[in-house]
Amino acid sequence: MEDQKKHEQFMRLAIALSEKNVSTAEGGPFGAVIVKDGKVIAQSANQVTLTNDPTAHAEVSAIRIACKELNTYDLSGCIIYSSCEPCPMCLGAIYWARISRIFYANTKADAASVGFDDQFIYEELDRPPTERNVAMVQLLREEALTAFANWQRSSSKITY
């Protein structure tokens, strides 16, 4: 029961961030909190319109803060609390950051009902690259493979 109360406390913080963002007209109705070992490491609301950065979703912004705070790109052992089910970009960032668990409040259907519909992205990802709405053209692959070969041989690489 204690864990449930803690999870609810952190989720309420994410929800409060989303509500404050709306009331201050600083961005969309989204908030995220990252917790490690029961302590808040990072928190952020959506900052897309505030920063003119389409990647500044609450989850991505919180991940950036947490990585800086912990001085690592690996957030294993962390939990993210998001006021809404993460979009495809944020979900990808959560996986790349190796966050261990996601709690979310609103669903992607709830977000779609107020104008934040990501269904087209899910549909695009299911299409072959040549059939997507944003043209994808492969160019200079052989030249680009050199960087991968150099990476494979490098003794100073940091794998992630």
The residue written with tokens 């709405």 in the block is 133
Q: Shortest CA distance to 10 belongs to which of 39, 37, 44, 45?
A: 39
Q: Considering 8, 59, 85, 124, which one is annotated as catalytic?
A: 59
Q: State whether residue 44 is helix, strand or coil.
A: strand
Residues 28/21, Cβ–Cβ less than 8 Å: yes
Annotation says 131 is catalytic: no
Q: List all residues 6 or more positions away from 33 whose beta carbon is below 8 Å from its beta carbon.
A: 10, 11, 13, 14, 17, 40, 42, 43, 62, 80, 81
Residues marked active site are found at 59
